[in-house]
């Protein structure tokens, strides 16, 4: 369950496009930061996606991917031309195919094959119509779903929502967000042949005039259980509060949102917060495992990620400047705990923080705020782009904040979390090898 937000220059303070996404997946599903260089291919080369092999293109763009460790594709990412994409699962009355391209496959393929948001939109549609969508998209818990995409560049943005090989899209004005619920109703700009005809045939609507994408195709129970409507409403409320004045920091704050309840805690919270925390195997089994914020425009391109779960207690650090790779001290993670992996190192502290989350959050928030305000101001007001040395230094500072904070957590007084919540996280710690 994810949340993706976008604001065009007309809604932002400095005329840039802003993009953000929280990737919400299973709580021990590591999401790595990957930078893939531009590459040329030979005729007849192929690319192995999650479940399908498809023809490769002559050249792919340099891309930044936020990638679940076991996948080919990505939850969100960007390319060297400033195109950014995030996808969301949506649950429909039509069932996904057993085999096809996954939404994450389509995110990566579109980033590698496009130079504008409109071109990325067309790439996804072409691939969708040719190969279909399907296959398991869950890690330990098997899950199949259709996909919604938010696609943007420095000038424009689109929302694309899909059912099987059918689709509808809308060109966005000002702001938009998607949250595991079909966001388009009657307000789409274009749709594929067959989308409305199938709805009429199946009895989802009476005629073309009666057609409403959300109402016709949403699977009621799964859409309700995903809490997409609540999160969609919350995102739009937060975007509207700062409309015309939105900044990088506003987007970071939206991704950290826990709602208006001042008494919020991970063990006693609703499952509809934008910064999502897992708590049980039934209703709150996912959490935010990585976050990305992008600012792109004629004045530059800026990319920030947590590279870790829980953005409320994770600093965003810069990545993906021209001619750079991932930070020098950054190491990827996989299935089991590894102290060298930044994701797992952060996760170990995050789980320890659950013993007294509010106090732990109070300890780290001032450190994060000071760091982010400093780096965002210096990076976005600089006349030059970041080099590899600066990328490395900013990451080391972020990692140092997490380590120093983590070393203080043992001194916090533990609170009563309840038997079920404590047992849930002890089970994950044992499974992952975290002592």
Mind telling me the catalytic residues? 2
Burial label, 307 (beta-carbon count in 10 A; 0-12, 13-18, 19+): buried
Round to whole Å and give the CA distance between 405 and 367.
Answer: 9
Round to whole Å and give the CA distance between 199 and 92.
Answer: 12
Burial label, 323 (beta-carbon count in 10 A; 0-12, 13-18, 19+): exposed
């Amino acid at each position: 369950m994810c949340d993706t937000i976008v604001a065009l220059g007309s809604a932002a303070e400095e005329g840039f496009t802003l993009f953000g996404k929280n990737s919400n997946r299973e709580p021990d599903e590591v999401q790595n930061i990957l930078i893939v260089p531009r590459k040329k291919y030979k005729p007849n080369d192929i690319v192995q996606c999650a479940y399908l092999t498809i023809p490769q293109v002559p050249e792919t763009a340099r891309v930044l991917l936020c990638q679940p460790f076991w996948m080919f594709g990505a939850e969100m990412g960007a390319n060297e031309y400033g195109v950014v994409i995030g996808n969301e699962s949506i649950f429909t009355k039509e069932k996904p195919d057993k085999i096809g391209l996954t939404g994450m496959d389509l995110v990566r393929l579109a980033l590698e094959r496009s130079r504008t948001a409109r071109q990325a939109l067309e790439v996804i549609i072409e691939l969708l119509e040719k190969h279909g969508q399907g296959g398991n998209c869950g890690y330990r818990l098997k899950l199949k779903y259709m996909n919604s995409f938010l696609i943007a560049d420095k000038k424009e943005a689109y929302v694309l929502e899909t059912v099987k090989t059918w689709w509808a899209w809308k060109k966005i004005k000002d702001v938009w967000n998607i949250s595991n619920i079909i966001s388009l109703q009657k307000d789409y700009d274009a749709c594929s042949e067959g989308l409305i005809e199938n709805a009429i045939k199946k009895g989802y609507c009476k005629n073309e005039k009666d057609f409403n994408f959300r109402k016709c195709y949403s699977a009621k129970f799964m859409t309700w259980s995903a809490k997409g409507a609540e999160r969609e409403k919350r995102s739009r409320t937060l975007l509207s509060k700062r409309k015309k004045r939105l900044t990088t920091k506003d987007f970071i704050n939206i991704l950290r949102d826990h709602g208006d309840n001042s008494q919020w805690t991970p063990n006693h919270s609703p499952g509809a917060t934008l910064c999502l925390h897992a708590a049980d195997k039934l209703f709150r089994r996912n959490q935010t495992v990585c976050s990305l914020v992008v600012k792109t425009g004629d004045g530059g391109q800026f990319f920030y990620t947590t590279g870790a779960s829980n953005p409320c207690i994770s600093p965003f650090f810069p990545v993906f400047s021209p001619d750079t790779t991932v930070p020098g001290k950054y190491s990827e993670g996989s299935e089991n705990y590894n102290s060298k992996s930044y994701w797992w190192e952060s996760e170990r502290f995050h789980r320890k923080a659950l013993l007294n989350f509010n106090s732990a959050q109070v300890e780290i928030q001032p450190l994060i705020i000071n760091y982010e305000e400093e780096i965002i101001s210096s990076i976005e007001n600089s006349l030059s782009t970041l080099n590899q040395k600066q990328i490395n230094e900013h990451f080391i500072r972020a990692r140092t904040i997490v380590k120093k904070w983590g070393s203080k957590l043992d001194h916090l007084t533990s609170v009563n979390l309840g038997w079920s919540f404590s047992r849930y996280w002890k089970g994950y710690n044992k499974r992952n090898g975290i002592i």
